[in-house]
Structure formats: structure tokens, C-alpha cells
Structure 1
Amino acid sequence: MAKKQDISARITEIRNRKASHDYFIGETFEAGIVLSGTEAKSLRAGKAQIQDAFVRIDRGEAILYNCHISEYDFGNIYNHVATRERKLLLHKNQILKLKSEVEKNSAAIIPIRIYFKRGFAKVEIAVCKGKKLYDKRESIKKAEAMREAKRAMSLRNYR
């Protein structure tokens, strides 16, 4: 009898690794994303990039800009445009909260990751404040200190 395939091995997740380096990440929201045509197949294949992506509130709707989802390799003439604007599905009170945060704190709305949940594509977005150069250096120092501490603890456990 064949083994069942591990579900977690099939789940793809596109992450924005630069977000935590460039921004202080605040409150996060989970939003659905409106996809067209072969975009879902490209996302499942992991052919997307959200490093330069951002969200803007236009006319009461959340729109995702600069999200690059590559064209599907096996698509036809009805393949999608790679960097089109995509609407995000949020509740009205969430949109109003995001809009007030951006206006009040001069923050940005950045996508953190794209993943699938029960067959639907979801985007985790966060309200972020930009880091200055000295903040980035401080974050790097903290990460190095944590790495050194973990290394010391692992060496201690082997003796």
C-alpha cells in the first residue's frame, strides 16, 4: 500500500523576507486575494515574488501593487499579466482601520506572505513603519547575539 503524501510538503508559501529587515511590523491581517486565470497554478508552483509589493487603499478597496506572479508555463493565450493590480478581500471595518493607521502614523501596508488555506489564496498583510539605518544595525546585533547564545547552549549540551 502506498504511503500518504505529506500535506505540508505540498503547501507552498511565498514570504517577504526583507519586510522584517526594512520595517517594524505592527498589526497583521489575513486577506483573500482575487486571482484570475492561471495565477493560482503559478502560486501553487511557488512562482511569485512580493519583495517590492505594497497595499494601497483606493476608493474603499484594498489593492495589492507590484506583486509579481509569473505566467503559468503551460498556459495559453489567455495567460495572466504578471504584475497587474490585485484586489484584496477584507471586511469594511478592517479596511477603515488600515486606512486610519496609514493616515495617522504615516505607516505602510506591506504583504508578509502569500499562502493557501482550505484551497483559497490568502495574503498576510501588516501595518509597518520604516526602519532607519541605526535600527537595522541594532536588529542585526540582536540576531547575532541570539545566534551566539544558541551556539553556546548547543555546545554545552554536547559536553
Structure 2
Amino acid sequence: MMRPKYRPIIVLMILIMSACGPSDGELTEAVRAELEGVEGMENVEVAVDASIAQLTGQVESEEMKETAAGIAGNVEGITEVANSIIVDVSMDNTVDSVSMSDSELKEKVKANFQEYQLDNINIEVDNGVVTLTGEIPAEELQTVMSAAMESGADKVINKLTVTE
């Protein structure tokens, strides 16, 4: 009759496991999925750490910036939104942008990173789209994304690993 003695332990384990929410990776994907279908959110990047959604990138209006934060904040499991999105009215598609080659763009991103003293970031450029990889401290994320966007990239894809 030792069976009842283990029942409270099993119940406690089930309660603890059910209290565990989605992982940061799952939350990142959930926020990305919500933003994906919204017009004007193509340049918004998401990183989630400790259930806090960090939004970076660019949109063309303050309203779109607020919309992105609202969408992220409504994802179940997100406890806070750090909205570092930059409003850039020049993103209006009615203005033709001056194009540069991928190699020129990569050099410009590198120069911006040097100016901001940012290291250990890998840069790939394909058709004006900059992809960033590497590991950076959380406090540098906004600076990195701003420096990359200032280079004239059409879009910046954030695949950086953010550390505390």
C-alpha cells in the first residue's frame, strides 16, 4: 500500500510541469508569425529573452511601431515588450532608393559597426538584405540594428544570439 504515498509527488510534478510556459524560442516564433501577415512589418525583427519581446528594425510610422508592440504584447506568454523599432518615414515606397551592390553594402555595414565599436558580428548580404549572426550582449542589440539599417540595407535579418 505504498501507492498513495507517491500520489502527492506525482500530482506536484504534473502541476509544476504544466506551469512551465512556452520557451523563448517558441515565443519568438509566435510573435514572428503574428507580425508576418501585417503589411509594413517586413523590416521588424523579434528576439525573446525571459519572456520579454525585443522588437527592432524599421517601420514607416509611429502608428506601425505601436501596432507591432501591441501585436507582440498580445502573444500569450509575453510578459513585456521592449520596442526599439525605428520610425523611418523615408521607407515610403513612393521614393526610389539609390541602390548599391551587395559588396558595397557589406562594407558600409562593417564601417558602421567599426564606428560604433561593435565586434564579433558576421554580416551576409544578398540582394540588399543584410543578415546578422554572432553573439552580442543584450544592451548592444538596438545599436547593432540601428547601425545596420543606417547602412542603407533594404532589410536587416537578425539571427544574433543575445546574451545577458
- TM-score normalised by structure 1 residue count: 0.21
Q: Give the structure with higher Rg (CA).
A: 2
Between Structure 1 and Structure 2, the one with more helix by share is 2
- TM-score normalised by structure 2 residue count: 0.21
